[in-house]
Structure 1
Amino acid sequence: MRAGHIAAVGECMLELAGAEDGLWRMGHAGDTFNTLWALRALTDTAHACDYVSAFGDDPFSAAQIGFMQENGIGVAASPKIAGARPGLYAITLDGAERSFTYWRSDAAARRLADDADPLAKSLQNRTLIYFSGITLAILDVPARQHLLDALATARAAGATVAFDPNYRPRLWPSAAAAKAAIGEALALTDIALPTFPDENALFADPKPQATADRLAKAGIGEIVVKDGADPALVVCNGRAEPIAAVAVENPVDTTGAGDSFNGGYLAARLSGHPPHEAARRAHQVAAAVVQVRGALAPFSILRAAFEPI
């Protein structure tokens, strides 16, 4: 995959992470944004990185856009919705494992694909476009079709499309609806980055190889099945190779680990590394992320982790 302009599509929320003395620290995060954050850290700044979403006209939305711009991330032609605002989530930790509480039902990002024209404009002339099952789940059916149409057009024009199914049952009306939408997305996917427990929950895959086999039958040529602290299964051109994760003795917060793995993997592929080497670097990036609080690690930490050990 050649280096070039990158877009990620989805929802960036306000993140509340616990701090000392019962205080909360506010940041900005969301599954596809976390991946783009790692991509921005690990790719040449000469190449544009844009977060394609929808934003409100409130002070929190303005701060969110400002935060992105300060870190070299644009918003392309993302619409600004009058009276709307970002979604919000809070992280609760039990050791390093996390749970989330969300306030997002009326978030601006749910309208990112209501208007097909700015969405299509945002995805033009891209080398890589990344989105997820959460991106699909927050959209109503007509808007979801706008997104799929825009992705198909961009892909026909030469974009590589990467997709993480990232199944979250609470966001879907039924498992059948999730399967149908994810199936449509997979038909447009060049690089699939699923997480095995999600695939087991939705498709009853008994093991990562079953996930890889199912996706290969769907016509996807490059597949990386993540499985937490267990090896990731990398399948490309019919060759399957497990790549061991990096052990972290005392993880601090596992939020964003899989998203950052995806960002590290895609950054390595954009840099010309083969899939197995890209997965090794991605594991290193994920291991660095679980040693900081919140979903976003500083760029300096991500860059140090990305280099070969």
Structure 2
Amino acid sequence: MTHHIIIGECMVEMSGRGQHTYYQTFAGDTFNTAVYFKRSNPAQTISYWTAAGTDKISQQFMQKLNEENIDTSLAFTSEDKTLGLYMIDTDNKGERSFSYWRSDSAAKHLVSLFKQGQVVLDLTRIKSVFLSGISLAILSDEDKQSLLEMLLELKQRGCCIIFDPNYRPQLWTSAQQAQLWTDKAYALADIAFPGCDDHRVLYGHNSISDIQQHVTNCGVKEMVIKNGEHGIQIFSQAQHSIIPAHKVAQVVDTTAAGDAFNGGYLAARFAGKTEQYAAGYGAKVAAYVIGHKGAIVDKECMGEFLMANQLS
């Protein structure tokens, strides 16, 4: 059975639900994408390559992966580290503010734990690998290089490499360092999800054409540029498409909007749908998610939406 690998860090999320009250769950950019990919296309096997600890909260996280039917064979255990944590508060417009505690999380060692475990991957069965700029930023430079070398080998065997730059300045020593590794990842990517906000801050790109030219020069063939309420622009095989953002009756919480879009898009693409259909589907998933509190919408709550929006 072919499967998809998603790489990154999941953290303990403490979401504000009133004065001095927080709701605890799990979230992180690539984890959110994995969940919405799997929920939207249950036929696909999704493996989450990450690391947690041996403590109770880490055990709860592993249970969460199982509840979401995400494969845990690449979810490694650190004996002396645990999950990072963040607190999130939203204003009355759904906009977010964050506080993080992740400086020595287990996920920062996901590459070395993979090597220590002497894991043997069946490279012929891996259909795709997805990572983000955060997946890279949390690693040492040595582990970044090791990871990209593994991805190159997979790409040479026909695996689809997928990248979302998801730039977080505080995770990098400088913008120059972030540009260097982001461009290396773009150079490996078959599908990329550049965001207008990320590119404006990281590269100073102020237009879609600036982004498109830069990412195309890196060699990306399928580019999905996310521009919030202004919609999605797709550049693929010399074609250019514009997909409008899905209308939302009430924005409750914009957390994970881009991650949910990525998950929906990939679910549709690996169900054989066109880029245009996939973007429209991803926009629907994102619109549903931002109408609810927190990064991960309750599974049962989302069931009716998924039944009405099945990928055939």
After TM superposition, is the score higher than 0.5?
yes
Q: Distance in 1 between matches of 2:46 and 2:121?
A: 11
Alignment of 1:1-309 (within 5 A): 4-20=2-18, 22-45=20-43, 47-95=44-92, 96-115=94-113, 117=115, 118=117, 121=120, 124=123, 125-297=125-297, 298=299, 299-300=302-303, 303-304=306-307, 306-307=309-310
TM-score normalized by the length of structure 2: 0.93
How far 1:115 sits from its partner (Å)? 4.4
Can you list the C-alpha shifts for 1:128-179, whole angstroms capped at 9, x where unaligned?
1110000010001111111111111222222111100001101100000000
The one-letter code of the counterpart of 1:67 is K
How far 1:306 sits from its partner (Å)? 4.0
Pair 1:277–1:119, CA change in 2 (3 A) = farther
How far 1:301 sits from its partner (Å)? 5.3
Q: Distance in 1 between matches of 2:108 and 2:118?
A: 13
The one-letter code of the counterpart of 2:306 is R
Can you list the C-alpha shifts for 1:197-238, whole angstroms capped at 9, x where unaligned?
101111111112321221112111100000111111111101
Moved over 6 A (4+): none
**Matched residue SS, 1:89:** strand
Q: For structure 2, list consecutive stretches of 5 or more residues without a partner in the other structure.
A: none
Pair 1:94–1:82, CA change in 2 (3 A) = same
Instruction: Please give the root-mean-square deviation of Cα atoms over the aligned residues, in Å.
Output: 1.8
Pair 1:255–1:303, CA change in 2 (3 A) = same
Pair 1:49–1:77, CA change in 2 (3 A) = same
**Matched residue SS, 2:6:** strand
Q: Distance in 2 between matches of 1:121 and 1:164?
A: 26
Whether the 8 Å CA contact 2:5–2:129 is kept in 1: the answer is: yes
Aligned length: 305
Q: Distance in 1 between matches of 2:12 and 2:33?
A: 16
Q: Distance in 1 between matches of 2:128 and 2:73?
A: 14
Can you list the C-alpha shifts for 1:68-105, whole angstroms capped at 9, x where unaligned?
01220122233311121100011111121111110000
TM-score normalized by the length of structure 1: 0.94
Identity %: 34
Whether the 8 Å CA contact 1:285–1:305 is kept in 2: the answer is: no
